[in-house]
Amino acid sequence: MVKDLSVALCGLTLKNPVIPASGTFGFGLELADDMDINVLGGISLKGTTREARYGNPTPRIAECPGGMINSVGLQNPGIDVLVNEKVPSLRKVYDGCIIANISGFSLDEYRECCAKADACEGIDLIEVNISCPNVHNGGMAFGTSAESAAEVTRTVKAVCRKPVFIKLSPNVTDIVSIARACEDAGADGLTLVNTFLGMRIDIHRRKPVIANKMGGFSGRAIFPIALRMVYQVAHACRIPVMGCGGVASAADVIEMMMAGATAVQVGAENLRNPFACPEIIEELPVLMDGLNINTLQEIIGTV
Amino acid sequence: MNKSLYTIAENVLIAPRTYRLVLVPLSFRAEPEGRSREICHGEFVDIAIPGFYLRRPLSICDREDGKLTVVYRVVGEGTKALAEMTAGTELDVLTGLGNGFDPESCREEALLVGGGLGVPPLYLLAKELKARGKKVTAVLGFNKAEEIILADEFRAVCDEVLVSTVDGSVGVKGFVTDAIAAANPTYDYFYTCGPMVMMKVVCQALDGPGEASLEERMGCGAGFCYGCSIQTKNGPRRVCKDGPVFKKEELLW
């Protein structure tokens, strides 16, 4: 029997639930010559701010057992280049769901960037990053309290007609209360989780490995924690969840969906294997067959 | 870029902590997959080492009939594990990575300046320049005699090879710039690869145009994670994709 991988997400139909996570697939075009990107259910573009940013000094990457730390620091060309150049170029060659990932240092910046993303024809969905651990006085600062998370949500919802997902930080005491605050403030969905704040020290040099000292830890090691948070939030909220964190296989995708995720983002695994997403998508029908699953939609939140 | 399986044909110690690794495509084809262009001088491979989360980017030293030669030094746990692998072991390798040296920039006479582990990536370039009929002078710098690698291979290819050692045990005593000052070779374009501080001095000391192959800690190795960006005169550039080779005038040291 032909397997149905499609999922419904806020009025959009994704051909499958597999989406490269923001920051792990550039602006989509970087890999367009190396693979058929049209197999991807969606692409979450690199985090974008109002102004162009160079990001943090190098080293920006530190390896860990079961994962890695990154501190890229939101290097991006700015919202105008995103909506005028990056998205139109990608739209020409990609027919799936294009997700703009917006970051900011003030409510004004979130409002302005989201309004521009909303007005950009090629963008299907807006993901608001209130969880970047690599910039000061911005990003994660908005995502670590229910009040400020709700405030960002209200601010961007006021200027967006497209579905708005808030991307949550796991670096909080109670992710459910923040998720509920975003839902109450009008969020159409939630993406979770972003990276865990982490650190490594080079014991020979007696210095942090990362130039910015700390960074976001991601990779296979965080999968059980991310899955637990997706499970908790999906069961506490009515809005859809995109599950993210340590996903590396088709089995992980199924597990995230059973925990409550409608779509699943693949992050750090892309850095180990640039072909991770197409390989997972190819593997899904085989695994579904073995699990007696005919449509992926039917397994969402079944556990 | 291609991801394919290679078999280790050879993984031998050629200098202290320094190994020559020869990789053969598992199912032999002139190129591992259809989309790939020919592997070029100055490009690198990204090797997955079982038990380590990220791949290890290593410069290509030589290429022959699909067979790849890489020279690496054990600097950490990942390269230590790689050094323990024996012939016949299969490795998952990304190829076709990086923007390498441009042999067309040289009109008549090339000067290659390599330091330590920066010497191997210049070898395939030396062969390419000779195939194009250029005069090639190579200046190879090392700390001491026992660390000298590939000098005979360069001698077999280049018109002239100058060696310098910091301790003076072989060749000119001092740095590559001392060897260049002593011999004063003619060239219209230079290519350099080695420690960052060496390349900086080389770019400052040499008047002519040239290019340098940079090193940076990488994430994906293929240009989409932006983990290895450096600031240049032309704005941020990714070492793995826009480089590793950059024109001298583009670099901010």
pLDDT above 80 (res B116)? yes
- The answer to whether the Cβ–Cβ distance between B236 and A25 falls below 8 Å is no
Average pLDDT over residues A241-261: 98
Q: Look at residue B194 in the predicted model and tell me its pLDDT.
A: 97
Hey, which residues does B4 pair with through a beta bridge?
B93
Phi-psi region of A6 (alpha: psi -120 to 50; beta: other; left: phi over 0): beta
How far B51 CA sits from the closest chain A CA (Å)? 8
Q: Which two tokens stand for residue B169?
A: 């045990």
Q: Look at residue A136 in the predicted model and tell me its pLDDT.
A: 65
The catalytically annotated residue of A97, A114, A120, A132 is: A132
Q: What are phi and psi of A295, to 5 degrees?
A: -130, 135
The minimal CB distance from B54 to the residues A26, A31, A271 is found for A271
- Reported as a pLDDT band with limits 50, 70 and 90, residue B52 is very high
Q: Look at residue B36 in the predicted model and tell me its pLDDT.
A: 46
pTM, whole model, 2 decimals? Answer: 0.94
Q: Which of A172-186, A241-255, B31-45 has the lowest mean pLDDT?
A: B31-45
Q: Look at residue A137 in the predicted model and tell me its pLDDT.
A: 61
Cβ atoms of B240 and B57 within 8 Å: the answer is yes
Residue of B45, B59, B185, B39 lying closest to B113 (CA atoms): B185
Question: Which segments of chain A are extended strands (E)?
Answer: 7-9, 12-14, 18-20, 42-44, 61-64, 67-70, 97-102, 125-129, 164-167, 189-192, 196-199, 201-202, 207-208, 214-218, 241-244, 263-266
Average pLDDT over residues A224-238: 98
- Reported as a pLDDT band with limits 50, 70 and 90, residue A132 is confident
Average pLDDT over residues A256-262: 98
Order of strands across the sheet with A67-70?
A61-64, A67-70, A214-218, A196-199
- The answer to whether the Cβ–Cβ distance between A59 and B218 falls below 8 Å is no
CATH, domain B2-97, list 1.20.1090.10, 3.10.580.10, 1.10.3720.10, 2.40.30.10 = 2.40.30.10
pLDDT digit string (tens) for B179-229? 999 999 999 999 999 999 999 999 999 999 999 999 999 999 999 999 999
Average pLDDT over all residues of chain B: 94
Q: Which residues from B are below 8 Å from A59, CB to CB?
A: 216-217
Q: Look at residue B30 in the predicted model and tell me its pLDDT.
A: 47
pLDDT above 50 (res B34)? no
pLDDT above 60 (res A128)? yes
The minimal CB distance from A64 to the residues B53, B218, B241 is found for B53
Q: Look at residue A296 in the predicted model and tell me its pLDDT.
A: 98
- Reported as a pLDDT band with limits 50, 70 and 90, residue A293 is very high
Complex ipTM: 0.93
- The answer to whether the Cβ–Cβ distance between A68 and B217 falls below 8 Å is no
Q: Which residues from A are below 8 Å from B78, CB to CB?
A: 63
Beta-carbon contacts below 8 Å between A and B: 94
Taking an 8 Å Cβ-Cβ cutoff, which residues of chain A contact chain B? 23-26, 30-31, 33-34, 46, 54-55, 58-68, 70, 72, 75, 219-220, 270-275
How far B199 CA sits from the closest chain A CA (Å)? 18
pLDDT digit string (tens) for A33-66? 999 999 999 999 999 999 999 999 999 999 999 9
Q: Which residues from B are below 8 Å from A31, CB to CB?
A: 222, 224
Q: Look at residue A184 in the predicted model and tell me its pLDDT.
A: 98
pLDDT above 80 (res B11)? yes
Average pLDDT over all residues of chain A: 96
Active site residue A244: no
Query: How many Å apart are CA B97 and CA A7, to the nearest integer?
Result: 35
Domain boundaries, given as residue ranges, for chain B: 2-97
Between A170 and B39, the higher pLDDT residue = A170
Query: How many Å apart are CA B186 and CA B157, to the nearest integer?
Result: 18
Q: Look at residue A138 in the predicted model and tell me its pLDDT.
A: 61
Query: How many Å apart are CA A262 and CA A164, to the nearest integer?
Result: 15
Q: Look at residue B38 in the predicted model and tell me its pLDDT.
A: 66
The minimal CB distance from A26 to the residues B48, B94, B224 is found for B224
How far A74 CA sits from the closest chain B CA (Å)? 9
Query: How many Å apart are CA B43 and CA B63, to the nearest integer?
Result: 11
How far B179 CA sits from the closest chain A CA (Å)? 32
Q: Look at residue B41 in the predicted model and tell me its pLDDT.
A: 84
